[in-house]
Structure formats: C-alpha cells, structure tokens
Structure 1
C-alpha cells in the first residue's frame, strides 16, 4: 500500500477504527523542496572595494572569483549601505537598513526604531524563508547582526544565527576577529580553534572546512535536498592576516604607489568593459598624500601593508575556490545560484599612515614609523593586527571617490557577481542595470518560484523593499526595476532616482574640506542650511564616478530629489537624522542586569565579550582569586583580558604570583611576588590604584601602583608608568586560561591553571574615566 501523506494542519486523511486492522495510517508530509530546486550560495566579503577583484581591474589575483565572472555575470551598479551591519541586514532580509533597526553598527544603537540595533522579527531572514521550503540553511563566518551585549553566554539567543533560521553556524558574532586566534562560536556555544597558527591554522581555511562539512553532512543523507549557505569570511577586514608566502607573491608590486594603482586599474576596467567607455577617473582625494611626498621609509611600510592585504584577498579567493571545487566534485556547482558581494567600499580605518597594530589606533597611540618598520617582516602574522593606510583605500575603490562610511559611490558601490550555469545562459557579460543589496532576497525568491511568506513562526511579515533583477540574467538590455534608493550614514545622505544621483555629504566632501569633525551633530538649523545649500547633483547616466556636480544648473531637480529623499526617509524609518557618533556610543541602553561593581568568574566557562566585561581601565580595581595550591606548586592564568595587541594577565608561574600589563604591544609592565606560593588554600589578590590622570590625547592610560597580596599579606609592588587608555581589542576576558594569542611572552597559550581555581572576583570602585570619541572610532573600525 502506498504511503499516505497529508499537509500538517489539515484533516487526517486516514481511517481510525477500534483496532489497527480496521484502520488506515497516514503521515504528516515532511517539508520538501521542489524537485530540481537550485542550491543558494551567497558570499559576503568585508571591506572589499569596487577595484579590488581581478575581474574588476585590480592587479590582485582572484582567479576563482574571476572564473565566476567569466562563466557568469558582473554588475557595475550594485549598491550597498556603505557600512557593515546595515548592509548585511539588507542582504538577509530584502529590507532597507533603517527598517531593520540597523542605521549603523549595533554598538552605536539609539532609542529610535530605525536605530536600535534589533532587526524586528517581522523582517524575516532569507534563511527563515527558505527553511519553510525544504532547504538546509547554513551560516558561516561573520554575523554582527545583534547588539554586542547579547553576544555573551547569557544571551538572549533569539537573534543569534540559529534563532534567525539557520540550521548550523560556525563563525564569529562581532565585527572583526583575529584570523590566527579568532573568537569562535559553533552553533550556540563558544569553541576554540582546532589548531594553533604554528600548526597551520587560519580562520578562512577553517570556515571553508566547516562550510564543506556542513553541506556534505546533509548531502550524504539527503542528496536531493537543496541548501542555502551564507558564507561570510572575515576577509578582507582588518586585521589583514595571511601566511607570509601569500604576501610575498606581491613583493614590489605596489612600490609605485596608490596613484599608479588607480591609473592602471582604471585602464583595465575599461579594457574589461566593467565601466563605461566614457567613464572618467575621480579626482585625487584631498585627504590622501601624494605618493612621492612620503619619505622612502614610509613608502616601504605602505607598500608592504598593501602586499599583505593583497595576499590576504588572494588567499581568501583560494578558499572560495576550494569550496567551488567541492561543489563541482559533487555535481552541485552548475545548479547552485551564487551571488558574491562586499558589504561596503574599502576601509579607511587604518589611518593616513597605516598600522601594524590597529589597537594602537583605537587608543590614540599611533606607533612611530621606526616601530612599524621594526615589525616589517611580521606584518600579517600572529604578532600583528595590521591595516593599510587610506591611500590604498581610495585606490581600492577605483574609479570612485571616497570610501566606507560615506554615501558617495566609493562607499556604497561594490563588485557583484552572479553565477548559475543551469539557470543563466549568458556567460562573461557585464550588466549595467541599477541594483541594491535589498534586491538580492527578492531575486532569489523569484528564481526559486517562491512567494515572500506572509508569516514566519506566527509573526506577520512586512513587505520586501527590494525588487527582483532576475530579468537581467539573460537580457542585457532589460530595464531596471529599481528606480529609487535612498542612502544615509551618520548624516551623510544620498538618493538615486531615475538616473540622477544627489549627495549631501556630512560633514563635508572630505575630511580636509569639512568645517567640523566627523561625528558632529546635525541641528535643525544646520539641516536647513544643508538642504538649502549643500546637496550635490550628478547625472549618473553620463557621470559614472560622480565627477561633475550639476546642482547649480538643475536646481529644480535638486529640490525634487531632496523631497523624494524625505519621502523615503519617512517610509523606512530614517528619521531623526543623526550625524553623531560619540553621543551614540554614550547612549544608555537596556542591559541584561543592573549596573554592578563586583563580578565573579569561574574557570572552564565561556569567554566574556569585552562589551559586558568589567571596565577596569583608568580606575581603582582589585582581582581576587580563590585557589588551592597543591604540593609541588601550580601554574597558569587566573584571569586575563585582551590579546598580544594589548591586555592584562594575572597568573602564577615559577611558583610565584604575577600581574603583567601589555601596553599596546610596545611594552609590558609587571609586578611579581618575591617568594614562592605555599601550598594550600589562598586568596591571591591584585590591586591597582591610579597615581595620575590618563592622557587620552597622547594614548596613555592612567599610571598607577600595582600591588600583589597573598591572604592580605603584601608580597609585591611596582609602579606601572602607563596603561592601555581606552580599550582592548580583541577584548575578551577569560578565567583560568589564556585562550588565543598570549597576552604576554612569558608563557604559551592557553596556559591553563593547574591548581584548584574556585573563582575570581573583580571589584571596581571610583569613577570610570573614558574617552568616548576614541571608543567610538574603535567601535566603528570593528564593523
């Protein structure tokens, strides 16, 4: 007898009698995808500009991405929001970023619906949609789509990947992480990397391994069940980490500087047809020094930083190639709809000179050139946290002006590839139709023949904001269906409408041309002036790179577009316009617990994210460990926070008690007990008392007196001449071990405590001294 099935929620079609012999069974029908449904693979890269793929004219080798372009499609008018979390929310929901509560990164959330950092559940994710249609759903890599205070083991978990429709997750929850010592989460729990850098570990390779294994796990059981893989490597966000042999492939390649890079890339873009034949290169950015004006040593450093970035991107391409090879080998590649995009333009957060330790930049303590040069051979390795100078940022966005965080095309236009041999006949063509990343979800649903759901888990769904561009797959001249798109980021505004582009830069067209600093509030009076005088206008059809402001001769068009911007702003929750950054960082937000001055930690528990760890910098504090020292002694970390980029460690070694403070990898200041620790139960205590004020402008945290106690007996004392002033990054706190990069060179990670560690308590007192502006820059650099 054929198996009888019925839709859950409908009437049972079988027969129920008094006994089984007079009854007929029927089964609730499993959720199955339509036969032949394609897999969906969305690859979201980080901080990769329009001119950084090989297939978009770059000298950086990306052969596997290029192969997707050669047998698929390249788009030259795909737009993003110009920032990480906002863009990523658009990619997975098909709604505009303010409607997702993602006006900026969630660390800068405020108490307005478009700004609060919580994507409403009525804006369902693509994973939730496809799961209803029989797809396996996998999230790999960077998340950064929930408030940072929700990233700890205390949850809540409903906005973690598994709470938003993904069956499996392997990656990191925040904005950035070390490629050598990443903060990893597997499904809903923290894990440590499977190997060390010395054993050949690298995060992008690990992510690729898990992507392959997730697919293989399911396909070997249900080969006809399609998957949706959201693959988001940390690349090419800082830190630019890669094995030296990858960087050395580019030795000398960038010695001629960023101006030459732009000119050569621009010429190749025309040869490839990826930009219009009449496109013009944008102006030399006022904030970028001429290459020849740099000292020879500065050029050496800048060139090496770019070599490492290029190696990092090529290595990432290699891992994408490995994933593609797996799909090819299993016969899945041709029927996999692949979309590749970056979340925003290239990043200028390395500063004008670049850095070997981005944490120094966050702390207002840029390293002298000679210190950077001393680490030249280490750049990209486990001892650095490097980022290139913003001259390479500008070059990476060729042919456009400006960069990430700004709504000019350099910040909001990115490479975009589509590959689906089973569904697209066109090969190697360029598409010029206007599109925005909110169009990706509607396009996927369109080609799958799926209507947007009206409800997800009982929640009525909001309409999608994007439109499908599937009509462009095989019709090069198909008209665009996306006519109007607003942009807003920190008060920097723009709108595209029917071939025109209006931009209102805030605080100015560049840092050099701005009258006030980035992050300045926009008052009602200021807004009136901006709307009356500061909007620029570009004819997008004729001016690809926004070179010719024609606002003066087209005033009526400017007025029309300003009005249209406000219509869109009202529709999608953009108001109130907020140009601030520091004030957002200082905004009081709902917390899981009440404010406290005592924190207790236990060994073998999850790492505590910096956002919810006790804030010990620049204030009196104590750390007390309740331990048992066995006969023969013990060693290991009691409590630590940070990494080799900066942090502190409270530990036992050589039978003595130690505290070490790593000042931004420049110097380590220590205090140690004179005598060995006796066996038995003890209370080991560290105290810090500031003896001066922090000097935030010069990147120097409060100096202070460091004291060690064993059972209230003073056993060691030293003066710490300087401490980290603003933040540790990475900033996780760990009890009983130092996972990841060792904070000090005295030991090798994880250096677990070998005695009995019952608990460690951090006690805070006194006023917290902070530099909110610098903390804002740090938060912004992590998206």
Structure 2
C-alpha cells in the first residue's frame, strides 16, 4: 500500500502542514480520523430480562439453551455474579460501571423522586461504555430494550439526550420502555417510531427481528470498514412478560413440568452440584412460605400452571435459538474468535405474575383477575398474540434455584444471576467455572482492561466520575485468582443487603416474605421503622460456606453483623443511597417536573407518532369527549379516528361500513360497542364521542366508572349505550394513535392498521372533572414493566 501524500494530526494539535500564498508552495495535513488499535476485539453484551439463576441449561435447568451452553463450554461460567434486583438499575450499571444510586436509578424511572440517587436521570458525568468506545474508533449499536430514559421523555417531543443515540450509540432499534408485546412491539428506530416489518400471521416475532437488525447493523459497517471493531449491546425483551412464543416452541415442553416447581428445584439443584456450580455440600434454600406446595393445587390449577411454564421454557429456548443465529453470523464472518461476549440477566426471575399467573397482565393491573375457569378456557392461546401472559410465582422461585426469593428483593434470588464470558482469542480456558465474587458494575472496567483503555477524563466536555467497579479480567485464565471486588451494597425499595469478604448481611423489607411480613410491599419506612430494622431485623449469612442463605448467624456472630451494618451505611453514604425509601405508592403519586404544563385539551393529527401512555390524556373515570374534524368522500370512508391500547384492553373511535363506531375493550373480557343509527353523509363533518360517568368506579372490584357513551354527527345524537363498567386503572400497552390502529386491534371488528381513508384534519380530546386514580393498581402496573 502506497504512503499517502499528506500528513495527519490529532484534533487540537497545531496544523503541521505548510500554508503558503498558493497551493503550489503549500503542503496539506488532515485531522486524524479516530481509528481503533489494530486487532481490537469486538464487544457483544447480551442482557436478558427476568431470567433466573436456575433457568439456563448450563446452570442446571431442564430448559434447553444449547447456544448459551455452547458459550459456556467455549468460555467461562461465573457462579457468583450479582445485579441490583431490578431492571433499569441493573442496566444502568452494565453500561456505566457505576452503582445504580450513583446513576440516579434507585428504581425504574417511573418511580423517580427528587433526590440525587432517585431522580431517574443518569448524570452525564457517568459516561456509557458506548461513549467511551466511540473515542477509540468503535462502531456502537444498541438493539432491544432500553428503559433508561424517564417515561415522560419517550414521546416525539423528547428531549432525546437520554435516548440511545444521545448516549453514544450510533444506531438503535428496539423499544424504550420496560416491556412490550413480542408480537406487536412498540418499535423505535434511531430517534423515531416505526411499525413492525411484518405481522404475526406472516411469522413476525420481536426476538427474531432484533437478531436480524443486529446482524444488519454489523454487516452494514463491515462492508465498508471490515477491520473496524464494534460494540453491540443486545437486549431482547425475553424473558420478561408477556411470555410470547410460537406455539411449536412451547409444545416442545409438553408434559415436562407436570411434576411441578418443587420437583424442578430438586432436579436443578442436583444438576448444579454435578456441574460444580454450587459446592457438593451446599444446602438448598427452604420452601418459600408464599409458594403453595404443588400437590396442594387442584388438578386444573396444576394443568394451567404447567402450561404457563411450558410457554416460558419455549420462550427462553426460542430466544437462545436467535442468540445462536447471531453467534453463527459472527462465526461465518470471521468475527467470533475476536469478539468478547458477556451474557447476563438484569435480575432474578420475576414474581409479578402473582400466585396463580395470568393470561393477561392488564387484568392484574386493573384489579380484575380472571377465574381459573376463564384462564383454562384460554390455555391454548397462551404465548400467542391474543394473550399478555405471565407464569405463577412458584415457577419464579424455582427459576432462582438454589436461592431464596426473587426480583425486587436483595436476597440472592433477586441479585444473583447467570453470567457467561466467551472470547476464544483472549481467553485460554474453556468450559471452566469461576466462583470469584463479581457485580455488574465490573463489566465496563473489565472491557476497558482487556482493551488497554483508560477510563476517559472527559466525554463531550463533561468531566467524568470514577468507575465504581473493578476488572475481573485477571480471573479469565486463573481460577484461583482472588476477587478484587470485596464489598458491594444493595438497596431496592428499602430491602437492603451487603456482601463483604464472603459474608452477607440482609435486612428485608417489608419482611422475609409476604406471609411473614408485618407490613405490605411498598409501605414507606419511617425513622422508627428504620431504628427497629437496624436493631432487630438484619440477617447474617456466611455465603462462602452457605451459598443459598439457609443459616442465619446474626445471633452467634453479633459483632460481625454490627460491622456489616456499619459498612452498609458507609457505602450508602458514598453512592447516594440515602434517604432509605421503602415506598412505591408515594413515589408513583409524586408530581415530577414535566416538559409541558398539564392541560385538559389535546389535539392530534394523522401521521403523527404514537403517544406513549405516560403523556397521553388520561380519560378513564372522567367525563371526556373526542371530536374528529373529517371529510368523507362521496364513495364513503373507513378507518380509525383515534384509539388507545391493544387487544389486551383499550378503546377505539372509528368509521366502518359508512357508520360511526366506538368500542371499549375491558381487559379482553368484555367489549362495549355503540354504532350510529344512520350512515355518514359525504362532506366535512364533526364526528364526536362523549362519555359521561353515571356512577363512581369500584376500583377494588376491578370496575371503572359506569357511564353513558354517545355518538354525535355535527352535534346531532346518532347513537348511545349505557356501559355498566369501564377499565378502572390503565391500559398496558397504552399508546394513543390518530388515524390508525397499529399493532393488535383494540376490537375484532376490524383488521389493523385500519387507516382512515377519508381526510382527517384533526382529533381533539377534551376532558373535564376530577381524574380518579387508583395509585396501588398503577403501582403494580409500573412494577411489572421493569
């Protein structure tokens, strides 16, 4: 290769060329492009959602995950990795290398409060790995779940500075919130919403789409710059609810969970001992008081629960399959050997399906659970486009084998997660287990360590804070190397813990389980409560010898416990953990600064992006009207004027068969429908829907306000019905769209997207009266979307 006829200089340096009066007596020089060090490895982080310690095959599970198992066999399996116990907080740690409170991510952003550790906004001094690697010549891609931006910032009004492209990712394809339908996802491409490329009937599923997009991002750059390394942050929605998967994948597990969650734990624990993941003398955690014994369930309840687990297992295997496609792509393109792959889950398995599970989480959010008989009637639909399903928490407990408890709690079931590392060119060891203590804040320092990169002093002119994690790269080829991460605190909704040198102290709030708790989940912690907790309710475990926290040593090692409690407070002071806040309801109800003032009139236009539920007008349980300014051509028109929600629940205002219609889908169980008694004439008209409550809601019983639903054409009443009840709390997913119904249809009366074929000038939603809110139910909804 010939030498260039010019010189280069680093930006900021003085120009090294010659500038004469004309070019013939001058010599050029160019600002040096940012180039990676030759041979730098690619970085692939795969972050799964709500996947428990005992759910990968290579961690002893009966669920088949051959591609993840192959990564473990060709690399390293870590048996002592820890997270924060919750989604957004953990994800903030993975990308920054800082603790979650220091990231302002004490919980999900929907529960932000006005304290530095709790405000839901990751400070720009806590740079992302994507921002760091951009400075060293990497391409950076984010694919899948984000959930690191305040929900009120998710609309087209922005601000966009905390969306993926605002935090160092050059390309993004995925969803911004905590969960989404796998069949009809809320998709964002870079900084704008897009519709899914195909329908479920055409074979669409989100995980496959994400894998395809990840491969295309890599291929796009490699065809131009084959030696340029990439950082891909790959975050499928799996295995968060809804557990959506093609039926044939769930059917692979037909009958394999009929013996229940107790038997699952026993088999998985025995296999974990055989694999060396837990010590041969380890004891499994005792039966959880909140989980019924499998044999205590009726035959029908066991049949339903077993099918729900079959669907979950199929969902995880399906996800593993598409991760395998991504791995095969790297192999085919010659990139696999020099790609540092890290696989982790963001927290333990999720108990948000409740004691009996659900076919539609929206029923749970709205205090309208279905009966066993109603669930059984839909058993063959589980995992399909008509459901929004989640399994019972007995499977959660089993999925976290051998540990106690689950997501949201700082026992090991909530914070100990599977973690795999694979890098053939950089790691000599194959198929080995590493038991050194580690935490997800160590992932960024480890990547920087193996790349030989110092943490940047500044990013975009912002002075950077120190990393909190430490590299574990020294353990790659030395199984006996001591951990360099000796102390780690935990806090989630007032549930606290600390690890230090093989000891673990835990202070559960509201109690060690729901059955034995003296308070309810989400209760605030008063100063009197805190004094009592610190004096009497800390537990102590020597996890170096008791991995599953089975023997509380608080009484016999009181001095050690006091030392651990004091150490927790030291760490809490360092990382913005104070004030300790056990509340959920109060956080949810808290007024937070918004980008616009609240109002009672909203105007929408066709062709605009879907309005996220967090910023959409809240019409439930209050009088409101929807007025569409339309032109109907002489041949008639049809389509949606305005709608909110999905087939899981929502409402839609539309034109069909030359008549005006309104339908209210109550949690996929009841459809209230009214149509105009006369056809729509051609020309320009004001089409109006009005709802007038005729009684108070019975939110505890899952019933929203009854009311009179009326249709008007140019101010003339053309149809009405009495709705005996409505949706009481929320729609989830709950986006509002003008001129079409993207995703699944709110009503079976039409097929999506059912775009309006006339001229739709505008739609105005007008509201008056007091908004009736059931904060406990909304709390459950936000918590389930982590």
How high is the TM-score relative to the length of structure 2? 0.99
Residue 475 of structure 1, aligned match among 470, 474, 478: 478
1:43 is the counterpart of 2:46: yes
The Cα shift of 1:248 comes to: 0.2
User: Pairwise mapping of residues 334-349 of structure 1 onto structure 2 (< 5 A)?
Assistant: 334-349=337-352
The Cα shift of 1:2 comes to: 3.9
Residue 332 of structure 1, aligned match among 335, 360, 363: 335
Residue 698 of structure 2, aligned match among 681, 686, 695: 695
Unaligned runs of 5+ in 1: none
Contact 2:63 2:313 in 1 (8 A): yes
Residue 618 of structure 1, aligned match among 612, 617, 621: 621
The Cα shift of 1:3 comes to: 3.1
User: Pairwise mapping of residues 170-319 of structure 1 onto structure 2 (< 5 A)?
Assistant: 170-319=173-322
1:641 is the counterpart of 2:677: no
User: Pairwise mapping of residues 712-731 of structure 1 onto structure 2 (< 5 A)?
Assistant: 712-731=715-734
Query: Which residue in 2 is equivalent to 1:78?
Result: 81
Query: Which residue in 2 is equivalent to 1:743?
Result: 746
Query: Which residue in 2 is equivalent to 1:780?
Result: 783
1:254-293 deviation per Cα after TM superposition (whole angstroms, max 9, x unaligned): 0000000000000111111111111111000000001011
Structure 2 CA distance for aligned equivalents of residues 736 and 480 of structure 1: 58
Structure 2 CA distance for aligned equivalents of residues 748 and 279 of structure 1: 55
Structure 2 CA distance for aligned equivalents of residues 562 and 418 of structure 1: 33
Which range moves more in the overlay, 690-699 or 443-452?
690-699
The Cα shift of 1:632 comes to: 1.5
Structure 2 CA distance for aligned equivalents of residues 278 and 222 of structure 1: 53
Query: Which residue in 2 is equivalent to 1:351?
Result: 354
The Cα shift of 1:781 comes to: 0.3
1:559 is the counterpart of 2:562: yes
* Secondary structure of the corresponding residue to residue 467 of structure 1: coil
* Secondary structure of the corresponding residue to residue 166 of structure 1: coil
Query: Which residue in 2 is equivalent to 1:658?
Result: 661
Number of equivalent positions: 783
* Secondary structure of the corresponding residue to residue 464 of structure 1: coil
Contact 2:6 2:27 in 1 (8 A): no
Query: Which residue in 1 is equivalent to 2:30?
Result: 27
Query: Which residue in 2 is equivalent to 1:457?
Result: 460
How high is the TM-score relative to the length of structure 1? 1.00
Unaligned runs of 5+ in 2: none
Structure 1 CA distance for aligned equivalents of residues 281 and 348 of structure 2: 23
Residue 95 of structure 1, aligned match among 85, 95, 98: 98
Which range moves more in the overlay, 694-703 or 420-429?
694-703
Contact 2:489 2:497 in 1 (8 A): yes
Structure 2 CA distance for aligned equivalents of residues 721 and 314 of structure 1: 43
The Cα shift of 1:701 comes to: 0.7
Runs of 4+ more than 4 Å apart: none
Residue 684 of structure 1, aligned match among 687, 693, 696: 687
1:510 is the counterpart of 2:546: no
1:498 is the counterpart of 2:488: no
Query: Which residue in 2 is equivalent to 1:421?
Result: 424
Structure 2 CA distance for aligned equivalents of residues 541 and 95 of structure 1: 25
Structure 2 CA distance for aligned equivalents of residues 141 and 765 of structure 1: 38
Query: Which residue in 2 is equivalent to 1:630?
Result: 633
Structure 1 CA distance for aligned equivalents of residues 273 and 347 of structure 2: 22
Two-structure CA RMSD over aligned residues (Å):
0.5
1:660-689 deviation per Cα after TM superposition (whole angstroms, max 9, x unaligned): 000000010011100000000100000001
Structure 2 CA distance for aligned equivalents of residues 696 and 196 of structure 1: 35
1:687-744 deviation per Cα after TM superposition (whole angstroms, max 9, x unaligned): 0011111111111111100000001100001001111100001000000000000000
* Secondary structure of the corresponding residue to residue 183 of structure 2: coil
Query: Which residue in 2 is equivalent to 1:126?
Result: 129
Residue 469 of structure 2, aligned match among 466, 471, 483: 466
Structure 2 CA distance for aligned equivalents of residues 271 and 130 of structure 1: 40
* Secondary structure of the corresponding residue to residue 414 of structure 1: strand
Query: Which residue in 2 is equivalent to 1:397?
Result: 400
Query: Which residue in 2 is equivalent to 1:762?
Result: 765
